[in-house]
Structure 1
């Protein structure tokens, strides 16, 4: 069976195509389209006409790939920006009319659950208590897990598209703005920090998105050039990238080897969030993985097929 998973996020619309056979999987294709559902209308909890058209165009592009690869099953999931949009019903209707796919709108809790299952597909099991962080455009999912079990989870509407619309950041960012974001993130994620401290969590698992960009910058490779099921990031390497990004202008970031153009405006507040959690919790090890929500859907499909 060939399965396609489309993850309609706040910033990008992501496609994963995999072949399932003999209880395992092989990834055939991964790509993304910039949709920017989190443009300036996100402050009004609305999806703009322009963002709607970008999404329809992205579905069209993904649809061609899905047809070429002769996919048997398509699952489409929408997350934070659509969850909070007051015009989500007409938006979803237009998407349905564009190609006939049923778009499943998932809750923050369900999104966190799928991200955890994606991490399980990559890691198998988490031998140490770990905190999983997925930084999105609309929301951040934080999952405290041990072995194959979720201990605690949250989804907060503090994604980076919302942040750059809420806080007008200088170029380069100023020290007072960094401090303001640190305080904001610590307040917004206080429950996550407290739970991680209680469980003596020392490992942070970073899923996709901003973490991909951080490791691409560390490795000096172009976005998408290197696939990673899991890759450890030393705190020294993280802080080197962190300090470089905080000093950088937007133009300088555009020139950095490894910088994804879709993340050039979002990466600075994203690494401030990562550093905030590292410092507040007392993280000693960071592990990056490409696996997240889409791979979680894949994991669930594999489990269902195994029971048949």
Structure 2
């Protein structure tokens, strides 16, 4: 039979197995393969044998092919040219993806990986390194995951999301002691942090350093002492006292002696706290009462002489910016805009944050998106003094609303803000004792709890219901309410009137409550100015296994 003849041998049938074949069928097929000549005598492929070379060359070539090395000869032994041998000495240098893929297979102890080890690093050629890592078998008892290792670690470190638009912060207690968590961090945005971003670290110079912020307003004197942490700061001490520095200011344009004495007593307590704590960096701010009073500069000098504290009278623009910096972490990440308001004792600040083109900005960076702002010369103290705050009738309440609403006409871009609200995704964010009181009454708290109030959402209907409920309360019942008390019982309805004026001018469907504001904004700016938070350089994973 001629070599290469494909005709059937006698006694064989198509598809017949060798074990069941007739007589000498297998032997004949074996001899026919032995007599078959190669098509190309110069071939160096494995298993090719020629006349006179015998089986030794074929066995040698087959063995060389099993180890991945090319054979050097064929039938004539020297048919492979010198150039072919020179090219065969060039080793393939695998790229990074191939090295990582080869290391992944080397680390695996499964039988399937061991069986395919002869294929070398080219087995995963054309696949990315991440895909090769995901293809690795997991050890016994481990759970398989399709998340890459870096993203998996970052996702585990990110805080859990809570609420309709934002994660729930770890808040301090009623006295503000405890942790102010990631919501006060430099990367704070509400909502979960992207998995690919590393959490910032506190610089070595700032570790253990204390910062303080003091806000001397028309009604309150408040101090906050904090220490920077990886995702924000931790409050270590706080102080708050109602001093009513602006009492009678609307009638005389001057700070009264009893009011200044009360403020000086509170400031002396704050000075002692700063000295006892060893605070290194602080900022002390006085707001509307000292701005509007004729004897405001003289009072600032008296404070310096008697307490050693150097207060600065902040401008209205600075006060509005600090309020935004302190509350920015409560901005809904999906919002296109925010109407932020701070109802104070002698003034009220309203800020429009236009976030339609914020491009992922969050935290203190949101102060760059202030589109318009206004500072109204109306607060709970002077409004209650003009209209009365204890026994408020329906007509009295409407008069207070109209008084506050008249000042809103000076707000620039008021029509543009109304159009943005009609487009949707604009919510209110309130930082004042008025909105925290409304939230406490809404939740029916037996005692004011900052953790329940700060960051809470209230629908438009809930706000209306709470205002009506407070209006129906007599003065004595407001005094007995644990969320109001005697210090605010005659001021809370004036604050509700200012809030109602804002809601009627720019109605939003939702309101978020913030028990934070100017002091937190001061702390954030002080720490950011000191470059407290520094991001780690991106972590580069080195491939495991043997590399060159």
Name stretches of at least 5 consecutive residues in structure 2 with no aligned partner: 1-208, 356-365, 535-548
2: CA distance, partners of 1:251 / 1:92: 37
Distance change >3 Å, CA 119–CA 185, structure 1 → 2: same
Which residue of the partner structure matches residue 104 of structure 1?
312
Name stretches of at least 5 consecutive residues in structure 1 with no aligned partner: none
Distance change >3 Å, CA 206–CA 151, structure 1 → 2: same
Q: Secondary structure at the match of 1:26?
A: strand
1:172 to 391, 408, 433: 391
**Aligned 1:77-226 pairs, distance under 5 A:** 77-123=285-331, 127-147=335-355, 148=366, 149-168=369-388, 171-192=390-411, 193-200=414-421, 202-221=426-445, 225-226=449-450
How much does 1:188 deviate? 0.9
2: CA distance, partners of 1:76 / 1:121: 23
Distance change >3 Å, CA 127–CA 190, structure 1 → 2: same
Residue 229 of structure 2 corresponds to residue 5 of structure 1: no
Residue 274 of structure 2 corresponds to residue 72 of structure 1: no
Q: Which has the larger radius of gyration?
A: 2
Conservation of the 8 A alpha-carbon contact between 1:47 and 1:88? yes
Distance change >3 Å, CA 90–CA 223, structure 1 → 2: farther
How much does 1:32 deviate? 0.7
* TM-score normalised by the chain length of structure 1: 0.92
Distance change >3 Å, CA 163–CA 197, structure 1 → 2: same
Conservation of the 8 A alpha-carbon contact between 1:205 and 1:289? yes
Q: What is the aligned residue count?
A: 307
Structure 1 runs of 4+ with >6 Å offset: none
2:505 to 260, 280, 291: 280
Which residue of the partner structure matches residue 271 of structure 1?
496
2: CA distance, partners of 1:180 / 1:79: 26
Conservation of the 8 A alpha-carbon contact between 1:43 and 1:166? no
How much does 1:133 deviate? 0.7
Conservation of the 8 A alpha-carbon contact between 1:121 and 1:299? no
**Please, which moves more after superposition, 142-151 or 120-129?**
120-129
How much does 1:224 deviate? 5.1
Which residue of the partner structure matches residue 455 of structure 2?
230
Structure with the larger helix share: 1
How much does 1:122 deviate? 4.2
* TM-score normalised by the chain length of structure 2: 0.53
Residue 531 of structure 2 corresponds to residue 306 of structure 1: yes
Q: Secondary structure at the match of 1:236?
A: helix
| Cα deviation 1:30-73 (Å, max 9, x = unaligned) | 33111111212442111111111111100122223333333222
Conservation of the 8 A alpha-carbon contact between 1:234 and 1:285? yes
Structure with the larger strand share: 1
